[in-house]
Structure 1
Amino acid sequence: MKLLTVFRSSIFFAGHIATLIFFVVTAQVLWVAPASVRYAYIHLWARFTIRWLKWTCGVNYQVHGRENIDLSKSGVILAKHESAWETFAFQEFFPRQTFVLKQELLKIPFFGWGLKMMGPIAIDRKAGRKAMKQVIDQGTEKLAQGVWVVIFPEGTRTRHGKIGKINAGGAILAQRSGVNTYFVSHNAGQCWPTGSLLIYPGTIDVYISSPIEPSEFSVEEINQQLEDWFKAHLTPLSEFKTEVPKP
C-alpha cells in the first residue's frame, strides 16, 4: 500500500506541476485583460487540480453547509489551514475570491506567478501594524468589488488535530467591513498532510457555518466563535473515511 501511495502521489505531482507551468505560461498574454478574466483562467487550473487529485490519489470531498453560503454578496471566509488542498478546493464552492498570504509565496517560480495573476493580498508578516492595515484596506476594497476574501487566521498550516494561535487580522477585517463572515473547518490534513509529499486516499469533510454579522461582536468574540467551530469539527483519525482507490 505504501508503494501504491508513493506511485499515485508521484503521478499527481507530475501532472500538477506540468499543468501549472502550462497555465502560467499561456496566461501571460492575459495581463492586458481585466482581473476577472485572469482569475477565471487560473481558476481552471485550480479546478483541474481537484479532479486530478481525485483521479490519481482517490481524494474526494463533501461539503456540509453549502446551503449557508449567500451568493448575493461578497463575504469573509475564516478557514482552517491544514494543507494545500483548501487553496484549490475553496474555488469549487465559493465565488470569486482572493487570499491573504505571505508575500514570499509570490517569488516561487510559476506557482507564485500564477498567484499574482489572481490578485492576492500579499503581506509581510513581520510588518506588524502595517501588514494589518494592508489586510484591512485591500480586503475592504476587494469586498466592495464583489470579491470574497479568504483568510487563514492561524497564519500558517497546522497538522490535523492541532489549532494554531488565531490572529486578529481576519476578525478585524470582518468587523470593520460588516460583511457576512463564514467559519470553515475541514480535515484535509489527513489526506494531504502539511510538509508531506505523500497524499492518502479518503474523503475530506468541509464544514461551513451559517454567516455571522461581525459588527455585532468584538474581535475577541469572533475569534472565540471561530476557535469553537474549529474544535467542534476536528475529525478523530479513527473516524476518517479512508478509501482504497481502484487501480
Structure 2
Amino acid sequence: MRFLRSFLLLLYLIVFTIPYATACFFAFPFLRADKRYWMAAGWCAATLAVLRRLNGIRYRVEGLENLPDGPAVVLAKHQSAWETIALPALLPRPLCYVFKRELLYVPFFGWALGMLKMIHINRKEGKYAFASVIRQGRERLAEGAWVIMFPEGTRTSVGTQGKYKTGGVRFALAAAAPVVPIAHNAGHVWPRNSFMKYPGVVTVSIGKPIDTTGLTPDQLNQRVETWIETEMRRIDPDAYPDVAAGIRGKNGKPATATDTNGAGAARL
C-alpha cells in the first residue's frame, strides 16, 4: 500500500505539474513578480495537501513568532525534497532560492521557475558566480523577498550532518541582513534519494534571527550550525543515539524538551 501511495504521488506530480506550469506560462506575463510567486506557491500548497491526504505526511511549525518584519536570509537544514516544496507555502514572504542554472532546462518545472525572480548561477564562473548571487540577492531583498539557501549544499541522511558552507553567511554579511535558521526532520517522511514516502509529522522549527553585525563569516557560520544542529537533536532526539540515551526517562520514553522557540506553533 505504501508503494502504491508513493506511485500515485509520482503520477500526481506529473499530471498536475504540467497543466499548472502551462497556466503559469500564460498568466505570468500579466502579473507582477510577487503575484507570480504566490501563484507558483499555490502549487506547493496543493502538493502539501496531497501529501497529507495521500501519504499521511503532516507537519507542525514552531517559532513563527521569530520571523522578522524585514529583510532576512533563511538558512535551513536540508534532508529532503519536502522542505523545498513546503517552505514557500509556510513562510509569509516570497522566498528567493539560489540554484544552479541547469534546473531551468527541466521541462515545465524549470521553465516556470525561469519566469520567477529567483537567483540562478553558473557554477563554472567560480568566484564571479558568488558576485552574481550578491547582486541579485540584494535586489530581491530590496523588493521584499527573503533569500533562502541550504548551507550543507546537498541533502543529508537522517541523523547526519553535512559540512556547513559559508556562501549563505557571506551573502548575509554582504547584504547586512539577519539570518533566520530553520531545523526540521523531513528526512523521516521523504528520505533523500528515495522513491518511498512514509506517514508521519514533520516538525519545522524556526529560530530567532541572528544579528550579523560585527561577525566574521566563520563566527556567523558557527552560530548558524550550532543552532540548527542543536535544534535537530531537540526535535528529533531518536535520530541521534547519544542524545536519545541521555534524555530517556525511567519509563523508557523521551523526556519532554522545552520549546526554545516559544509557545507559538501551527499544526496541520
Q: TM-score, normalised by structure 1?
A: 0.90
Q: 1:218 maps to which residue?
A: 216
CA contact (8 A) 2:2 2:196 kept: yes
CA contact (8 A) 1:30 1:37 kept: no
Measure how far apart 1:118 and its partner are. Answer: 2.5
| Pair 1:35-2:33 in alignment | yes
In the alignment, which of 169, 194, 216 is matched to residue 167 of structure 2? 169
Task: Please list, as runs of the form range in 1=range in 2, the aligned pairs for 1:138-217 lying within 5 A after superposition.
Answer: 138-217=136-215
Secondary structure at the counterpart of residue 214 of structure 1: coil
CA contact (8 A) 1:176 1:215 kept: no
Q: Distance in 2 between matches of 1:143 and 1:186?
A: 24
Task: Please list, as runs of the form range in 1=range in 2, the aligned pairs for 1:88-107 lying within 5 A after superposition.
Answer: 88-94=85-91, 95-107=93-105
Measure how far apart 1:97 and its partner are. Answer: 1.1
CA contact (8 A) 1:163 1:230 kept: no
In the alignment, which of 20, 23, 26 is matched to residue 26 of structure 1? 23
Measure how far apart 1:134 and its partner are. Answer: 1.3
Larger radius of gyration: 2
Measure how far apart 1:7 and its partner are. Answer: 1.0
Secondary structure at the counterpart of residue 43 of structure 1: helix
Measure how far apart 1:105 and its partner are. Answer: 1.4
Q: CA RMSD in A?
A: 1.6
Q: Distance in 2 between matches of 1:216 and 1:54?
A: 43
* Residue type at the aligned position of 1:82: Q
CA contact (8 A) 1:66 1:93 kept: no
Measure how far apart 1:216 and its partner are. Answer: 3.0
Measure how far apart 1:144 and its partner are. Answer: 0.7
Measure how far apart 1:30 and its partner are. Answer: 2.5
* Residue type at the aligned position of 1:96: P
Secondary structure at the counterpart of residue 163 of structure 1: coil
* Residue type at the aligned position of 2:23: T
Measure how far apart 1:12 and its partner are. Answer: 1.4
Q: What is the number of equivalent residue pairs in this alignment? A: 235
Structure 1 residue runs of 5 or longer lacking an equivalent are 240-247
Measure how far apart 1:48 and its partner are. Answer: 0.4
* Residue type at the aligned position of 1:192: W
Structure 2 residue runs of 5 or longer lacking an equivalent are 245-268
CA contact (8 A) 2:80 2:187 kept: yes
Q: 1:82 maps to which residue?
A: 79
> More displaced, 31-40 or 199-208?
31-40
Q: Distance in 1 between matches of 2:213 and 2:174?
A: 7
